[in-house]
Amino acid sequence: MIQNFFLFYLINCKAGLRSFIKGIDYFRLREYLIAAKQINFYFQKTKKEKTTLIDIGCGEETWGLFAAKVFGFEVTVVDVNQKKINLQRKYSQRLNVRSFDAICADGAKLPFFDESFDVVNCFAVLPLLPGEKDIKVMQEIGRILKKSGKALITVGYDTVFREEKDTLTTKGFSRVYDDNALSNRLIKPSGLHLVKKIYFGQPKIDFSRIWYRLPFLVKLCFRSWLLPILSLTFLKEIASPQIGAIHNKKINGVLLILEK
What is the tens place of the pLDDT at every residue in 30-52?
999 999 999 999 987 665 678 99
Closest CA to 133 of 173, 169, 193: 173
pLDDT digits (tens, 9 = 90+) for 226-245: 999 999 999 999 876 544 55
Tell me which residue of 53, 27, 28 sits closest to 40, measured CA to CA: 53
Q: List the pLDDT tens digit at each of the 260 positions of the chain.
A: 889 999 999 999 999 999 999 999 999 999 999 999 999 999 876 656 789 999 999 999 999 999 999 999 999 999 999 999 999 999 999 999 989 999 999 999 999 999 999 999 999 999 999 999 999 999 999 999 999 999 999 999 998 999 999 998 899 999 999 999 999 999 999 999 999 999 999 988 999 999 999 999 999 999 999 999 999 999 999 876 544 555 566 899 999 999 99
In this prediction, residue 244 carries a pLDDT of 52
Q: Tell me, what amino acid is at 180?
A: N
Q: What is the DSSP string of 115-164?
A: T-EEEEEEES-GGG--TTHHHHHHHHHHHHEEEEEEEEEEEEB-SS-EEE
Hey, how many other C-beta atoms are within 10 angstroms of the C-beta on 217? 7
Range of the domain at 126: 2-259
Domain count, the chain: 1
Distance CA 226, CA 49 (A): 38
Q: Any idea what DSSP says for residue 112?
A: S
* Cα angle, residue 128 at apex, residues 121 and 148 outer, rounded to 5°: 20
User: What pLDDT is recorded for position 1?
Assistant: 82
CA distance 92 to 61: 12
For position 245, which CATH number holds? 3.40.50.150
Those residues whose C-beta lies under 8 Å from the C-beta of residue 134, and which sit 6 or more positions away, are: 126, 127, 175, 185, 186
